Structures are given as C-alpha cells and as structure tokens.
C-alpha cells in the first residue's frame, strides 16, 4: 500500500449511398446532455441523462472524491457512456468493522434512493486502500438478504488486499537501511494491525475474518461466483529504485496469488490485469495510480456485466 497523496454486396451499395447522402447534410455532432452533478460531504454523484448502470468508486487512503476524478478519466468516461458514478469520500481504511461496513452501505442506499439512481446493475471499485473497502463491501452486500444495490462485479486497483502480506512487508521495511522516509508508513501499518487484529503469527484467524482477501480458499470463497478484476502495474525496476522493494513485496505479487486462488476455487471470471508505463500519480511517474486502468475498456466490462 502506498498512502502517499496509493479501455454484403447489395447492402454495401445501399450503405455507400447513405454515406453520400450524409455528406450532403450537416456534419455537426449531436448535442450530448451534460451529466447532472451532485456534491455532498460524503460523496459526489454524476448522473447521465439516460442511465444503464451504476459505478461506485472509493479513493486511496488520504484521498477523496475530488482526487478520484482528478487522477483518472474513469468517472467522466463512464458517465459519458450512460453509467452513473458515485464517488465516495470514505477513506483511511484497509479493513472495516461490521458497523463501518453497514454505515457506508447505508450512505450508498441513501444516495440511490434520494437521487433516483437505478442500482440494478452496480459495480464497485477502488484504488489502493479503496480497493480494500470495495472488496469488503462486496462481501457484505453478497451476505445481505436485501442489499440496496444489485452487485454485478468488483475491482481493485493495486490494492493491499492481503493484510498478512502487508504486515510482513511492513516488518521488512523497518529492517531496511534505505529510504528511511517510508519507515513511518511501515510503523503505522504495524501499529494498526497489531492493535486491531494482532500479529498473523498469533492471530491468523482474525486476518481470515477481517482481511478483504487472503491467499486462502476460505478467504476467497465468498467471491468465487462474482466477476472480479485486479489491476496492477508490476514495474519492478521502479519499485527497486524508488522504494528498494522486491517483486515479492509488491501489491502485484499479492494480487496475483489471490487471483490464482480464486481461479482454483472455481471463479472463471476473475481477472488479473497488468499494465506497463501507464502509472502517473499527481503528475509524476508512479506505477501505483488510478491511471493504470484503461477507462474505455472498463466501460466495456461494466456494460457486459449489465446485459
């Protein structure tokens, strides 16, 4: 996790004629009605004139809805294709209590009801810790007898879903002599996990219960039938040069293991998507970024799930 501010013959003649006729007419493109925008302290909502799906997005650890929209074209591209976008301000969570999960689901339910959003085709996704939140909420929604949205899929963008791996990597970071500026992050992670779950060596059952996903069949079982995507940009040279991290310390490594475990559990719609050279975070090259998602291809995936 990086909490730094982490897409024939006869018919052909007829068609040719229609093109010629069209050339004689106005070439002005049709007016596309701008989406309606609603901004509240807990979320930003983009509503297209005609809606066919709902996308809910969660930001990275210190980020908010405005950052989500600024750092990626996902929101504006998807709403332009008739997909409503609910960008949440809920952040600073790599795990969630049951009460927190229900509170966020209640916020989503309120937004859907108040603004008349069609939630019959809903996809949830998030970047970095936002992916953790998305997966935890996906599990909660699938457990619910009467969910406020009908979940069709979930995705996580370079997220530290495996909290056991995150704990182990934080321990390694504290032993390194390089990049002392990142040791505060490692201390924070260890303090948080120690205080809430204990250490994995002593309290693995707590991690099985609370982590978004672990590299275990029990952890992935609730999502074995749900379309799920993991996006990551495993630029090992960048991570070695900028953080002294090996591949085994990257979110890419953890996500690949989880993906393979999901596939082994029978999930035929689990996808592990890697990119190269797409990552830009706040204007700087960084493989841990919203921008690794190709937004037009994401639209096609969401549309496919909505059919």
Q: What is the pLDDT of residues 163-203, one digit of tens each?
A: 999 999 999 999 999 999 999 999 999 999 999 999 999 99
Residue with the bigger pLDDT between 9 and 270: it is 270
Is beta strand 228-232 parallel, antiparallel or unpaired with respect to 270-274? parallel
The answer to whether 163 and 251 are in contact (CB under 8 A) is no
For position 268, what pLDDT does the model report? 98
Note the pLDDT of residue 10: 30
- Whether 302 has a pLDDT exceeding 80, the answer reads yes
> In what order do the strands lie in the sheet containing 53-58?
36-39, 43-47, 83-88, 53-58, 122-127, 151-157, 228-232, 270-274
Q: If pLDDT is split at 50, 70 and 90, which confidence band does 307 have?
A: confident
Which sign, positive or negative, has the C-alpha torsion 103, 105, 109, 112?
positive
For 75, 174, 209, 287, 291, the CA distances from 71, given in Å and listed in that order, are 10, 30, 32, 13, 7
Fold of 36-162+211-306: Rossmann fold (3.40.50)
Residue 201 has a pLDDT of 97
- CA distances, 92 to each of 58, 62, 63, 205 (Å): 10, 6, 8, 23
Q: Tell whether the model's pLDDT for residue 28 goes beyond 80.
A: no
Share of the chain above pLDDT 90, in %: 89
Report domain extents, the chain: 36-162+211-306
How much is the pLDDT for 32? 62
pLDDT higher than 90, residue 50: yes
- pLDDT of 33 reads 83
Residue that is written with structure tokens 């909502």 in the block: 45
Q: Lowest mean pLDDT: which of 21-35, 163-177, 229-243, 282-296? A: 21-35
CA distance 15 to 21: 10
Smallest Cα–Cα separation from 256: which of 274, 238, 237, 269? 274
pLDDT at 14 over 90: no
pLDDT of residue 15: 27
pLDDT of residue 195: 98
Examine the pLDDT at 207 and tell me if it is beyond 80.
yes
pLDDT of residue 19: 29
Q: Look at the chain and count its residues.
A: 307
């Amino acid at each position: 996790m990086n909490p730094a501010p982490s897409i024939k013959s006869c018919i052909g003649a007829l068609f040719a004629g229609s093109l010629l006729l069209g050339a004689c007419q106005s070439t002005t493109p049709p007016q596309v009605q701008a989406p309606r925008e609603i901004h509240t302290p807990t979320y930003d909502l983009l509503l297209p004139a005609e809606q066919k799906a709902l996308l809910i997005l969660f930001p990275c650890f210190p980020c908010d809805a405005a950052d989500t929209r600024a750092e990626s074209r996902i929101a504006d591209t998807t709403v332009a294709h008739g997909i409503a976008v609910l960008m949440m301000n809920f952040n600073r969570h790599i795990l969630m209590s049951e009460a927190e999960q229900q509170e966020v689901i209640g916020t989503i339910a309120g937004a859907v009801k108040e603004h008349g959003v069609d939630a019959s085709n809903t996809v949830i996704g998030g970047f970095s810790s936002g992916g953790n939140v998305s997966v935890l909420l996906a599990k909660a929604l699938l457990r619910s007898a009467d969910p406020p949205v009908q979940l069709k899929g979930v995705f996580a963008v370079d997220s530290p879903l495996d909290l056991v791996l995150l704990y182990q990597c934080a321990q390694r970071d504290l032993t390194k002599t390089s990049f002392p500026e990142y040791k505060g992050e490692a201390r924070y992670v260890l303090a948080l996990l120690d205080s809430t779950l204990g250490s994995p060596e002593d309290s693995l059952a707590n991690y099985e219960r609370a982590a978004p996903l672990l590299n275990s069949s029990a952890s992935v079982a609730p999502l074995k039938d749900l379309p799920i995507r993991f996006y990551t940009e495993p630029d090992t040279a960048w991570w070695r040069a900028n953080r002294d991290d090996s591949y085994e310390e990257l979110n890419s490594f953890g996500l690949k293991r989880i993906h393979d475990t999901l596939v082994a559990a029978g999930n035929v719609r689990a996808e592990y998507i890697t990119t190269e050279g797409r990552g830009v975070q706040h204007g700087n090259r960084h493989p841990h970024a919203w921008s690794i998602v190709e937004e037009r291809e994401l639209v096609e995936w969401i549309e496919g799930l909505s059919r």
